[in-house]
Structure 1
Amino acid sequence: MNFFEIASSHLKDLTENEHKLFEFVVSNMEEINGKSIRDVASMAYVSTATFIRFVRKIGFSGYSEFATVIKFTLINRNENPDKNIFYTENNSYRESYLKNIEETIRVLKEKQLNLIASDLRKKPDIYFFAKDTTKHLVEYLDFIYSMAGFRVFFPRDENYRKIAEKQINSNSIVFIMSYNGENKEFIQLISELIKKDKAPLIVSITGADNNTIQNLSNINFYLFTDELKVNGVDISSRISVAIIMELILYQYIYNK
């Protein structure tokens, strides 16, 4: 019994305000667990009637079922800390892989894509910040954004990232890619950038759990993936990151 498995097929039908409620639930799952509908609606700054309509629209019969599923989703997450919300057994990995891609695309907001595409029309400098396995994917992103005519910076180690930080200004878009959203170096980087008089647009791509990088960014995109390690090395799929970044670029090209 998993909140995301129940809600996922209904996300495409949500209004903008309902998407905000969905993000609220995802970001505050621990806090709303065990609370009454009045308390949760108050936390979300909506009426109880609005929240119950939302609950039913994402696939639940009522608030009682919604609250029960939230509880079991959290229990499962705590019992399986190395497994993400869409983890499945090996014999269905292909279905899970496809589901992760579908969910990553489904929760994308056209308004956010258009906002970034609008900024891209100003031909800003593009900065990519990523570590570990994601760095290898960003080499591809560096290529396609460069071929689209952008000046791209991809500092690959901490010393170069510190130098790049000094060059970033309001004519920059900074993409931060961190699955758990709690990388200390990147949190410090964003904290310094938002202090600038000429702060850049900061776009993050993180997992769907509430996290610090998400909360510090101007725009955040959720990605879904199953965590996988081989010989102690994380080889979890980064295809969802590529999809998000490709769709941002394609939106820019489409809007030109």
Structure 2
Amino acid sequence: MKHNNNKLKNKSIRQVAAACFVSTTTFLRFVRKIGFSGYSEFSTVIKYTVLNSTEKSETAVNFVEKQEQYRNEYLKNIEETVRVLDNRKLLEICQQLDKQPKIYFYAKGFSKYAAEYVEYLYTLNNFIIIFPKNYEQRKLAYRNISKNDIIFVFDYAGEDSELIQIIQRLKSSTQYASLVSITGANNNTIQNMSDENLYIFTDELKIDTVDMTSHVSLIAIMELLLYQYFEYKKDKLGK
């Protein structure tokens, strides 16, 4: 897979299609059929998925010696997260936010602390936020969700069994709400269960068994969504 990824690097869709002995139209149709908005998004996701899996399989390096390299990758991950944001998805979410729904946040681990900042930010802007922060609260909170509400699920791996069970219960309900997930770019269960998925790029990092994976990209998406909502409201009033 890494070998094929190197072949994709810096290649245009026309070059890749020719290497596969198909037309650019056929190749683009394939890319869209498997869930990507276009070739740019496809090539970016493939590159970062392979890079992350390769880094996990290699021997850990001394973090102090690699700080400059990590800083470069850190900025690149944020840049790529913002670059591939789907404007159509953002607009659809903004339209739902404009109906002033209750907003539910589901997050665990380090994602929970990033979500606490987002909770504060959205609450300041007059949204009603429900953020169950422990197992018992999460187990009960979904019972009060109505079909007009929005649920945000933050889980980088997209495979948390508890969150998946909650989503399954929600989807089986007649009061099923809109579900937006923010996960990694890899194909995962929570992403596939969501109405809309926004994905982030980040390098998973552990130092002395402590998970230090950055959640800045998650915060960036939620901030940009809020800014997009402000623009949506401004444009709506101007019409």
When the two structures are superposed, what TM-score results if normalisation uses the length of structure 2?
A: 0.76
Which residue among 97, 100, 115 is the counterpart of 2:92?
A: 115
In percent, how many aligned pairs have the same letter? 42
Alignment of 1:67-106 (within 5 A): 77=53, 80-81=56-57, 90-106=67-83
Q: 1:81 to 1:194 in 2, by over 3 A?
A: farther
Give the Cα–Cα distance (whole angstroms) in 1 for the partners of residues 92 and 67 of structure 2: 39
Which residue among 121, 126, 133 is the counterpart of 2:110?
A: 133
Alignment of 1:23-102 (within 5 A): 37=20, 48-52=23-27, 58=40, 77=53, 80-81=56-57, 90-102=67-79
Q: 1:193 to 1:37 in 2, by over 3 A?
A: farther
Give the Cα–Cα distance (whole angstroms) in 1 for the partners of residues 72 and 169 of structure 2: 41
Unaligned runs of 5+ residues in structure 2 are 14-18, 32-38, 60-65, 234-239
**What residue in structure 1 maps to residue 173 of structure 2?**
196
Which residue among 215, 228, 232 is the counterpart of 2:192?
A: 215
Q: How many residues align?
A: 209
What is the CA deviation profile of residues 202-249 of structure 1, one whole-angstrom value per residue up to 9, with x for unaligned ones?
000111110000000000011001111122121111000001111111
Which residue among 121, 126, 143 is the counterpart of 1:166?
A: 143
Cα-Cα RMSD:
3.4
Unaligned runs of 5+ residues in structure 1 are 15-35, 39-46, 59-65, 84-88
Q: 1:126 to 1:81 in 2, by over 3 A?
A: farther
Give the Cα–Cα distance (whole angstroms) in 2 for the partners of residues 199 and 166 of structure 1: 10
Give the Cα–Cα distance (whole angstroms) in 2 for the partners of residues 201 and 5 of structure 1: 39
**What residue in structure 2 maps to residue 243 of structure 1?**
220
Q: 1:250 to 1:4 in 2, by over 3 A?
A: farther
Q: 1:105 to 1:79 in 2, by over 3 A?
A: closer
The alignment partner of 2:153 has SS state of strand
Cα contact 2:152–2:181 (8 A) shared by 1: yes
**What residue in structure 2 maps to residue 86 of structure 1?**
none
Q: 1:79 to 1:224 in 2, by over 3 A?
A: closer
AA at the equivalent of 1:50 = T
